[in-house]
Amino acid sequence: MNSSRSNFYVSPGNYLGLLGGGQLGRMFCHSAQSLGYKVVVLDPDPDCPSGMVADYHIAASYNDVNALEKLSKLCRSVTIEFENIPCNSLEILSKDCIVTPSAHAVSVAQNRIKEKEFIQSQGVEVAPYKSIYNEKDITENMEYLLPGIIKVSKMGYDGKGQAIVSSLDEAREIYYKFGEVPCILEKNLSINYEASVVLARDFSGNSVFFPISINIHNKGILSSSFVRKDIDSSIYSHEKERMIRKAKKIADSLNYHGVLCVEFFVLNNNTIIVNEIAPRPHNSGHYTIDACFESQFDQQVRVMTGLPLGSTELLTSALMLNILGDSWFDTDSGVLREPNWHDILSLSGVKLHLYGKKEARPLRKMGHLTVLGDNINLLEDKARIVATKLDLSFW
């Protein structure tokens, strides 16, 4: 099936396919089912968060030909939950299904080298970097990138597969530690703040943009995202249009279909560069579930079924806090115990989303909280209370 067609429509009651069984897929299932669709999840983990709520779960690897055939017979339209899905599997599915995003778009986003080359080809700035394919690529002409960050080209996420280095010897050591796979060495820049543009683009080339969030990270993992309804008074108001233009250019140039997140770094001199792109709903867009007229997952369903794009209107200011597995362990003793949800949910304007993961582990994303309210001071006060009770980092 030609995935570039713009006149298709998948009516409610039909099955939608999802490759990937994590928490993003779980939230996708909720949105799809609220619109009357059924969801088939393909994921090898029999206990994956998406499989628990999907209408049907195919427990098989992503490149299992029989599983892909089964999925294509059930579904007219298929999407992904994370970018490390084999592109060959998407190519196979595209013969019989609408696939969003395309295998080409995913192939760019899942490879840091290809991603940076593509973004630069569109005249959009990225951090200075060099590609590393073997030890001989680590030479003196890289010294201007130090101190820098080595990142594996593929399969890195949430701070995994990257390390800060201050010398070429350290760079070589980390390159060996990462298994001598293709990497990039990226200059460590002085950043004012990070922001995300989450957009949805349909098969007719129409795009809608969610309000831009400001993001804080801890140990390479997103800690919190903040979005204000009074956007004109916020720190990033004068950069907003520039970010949206750059994000739109990237999406249009990729001929992208679906939900896309473009992460930006705003430097201390107000230069705006793209950090990376994610071809799917994004952690920094989770606030949209509770704070927007339509969520990023609602938009994902709309694009893949041929429904019109929904409103991205922000109904209230919001602050999203990630809950990691660390919150299940007592700070002093390290003993495993359940967080005090009763006290946390006694606060008004606090929405809890847990992902159904059976085992809490340090640095593992277990859920998130969204604190809502138009009084910014009260919102931040509540967020601090929640962060203290759950031992979360907070800006």
> Within 13 Å and on the Cβ side, how many CA atoms surround 353?
21
Whole-number Å distance between alpha carbons of 280 and 81: 7
Give the C-alpha separation, 213 to 257, whole Å.
Answer: 22
Which amino acid appears at position 188 of this protein? N
- Tell me the CA distances in angstroms from 232 to 180, 211, 379, one per residue in order: 47, 11, 18
Q: Name the burial class of residue 359, with classes exposed (0-12), middle (13-18) and buried (19+) by CB atoms within 10 angstroms of its CB.
A: exposed
Distances in whole angstroms, Cα of residue 230 to Cα of each of 1, 267, 318, 374, 378:
44, 23, 11, 9, 15
3-class DSSP state of 89:
helix
- Which structure tokens are listed for 327? 């919150």
Q: How far apart are CA 209 and CA 227, in angstroms?
A: 13
Residue 128 vs residues 145, 157, 272: alpha-carbon distances, Å: 7, 20, 13
Residues 386/378, Cβ–Cβ less than 8 Å: no
Annotated binding site for ATP: 112, 151, 156-162, 186-189, 194, 217, 275-276
* Residues of the binding site: 112, 151, 156-162, 186-189, 194, 217, 275-276
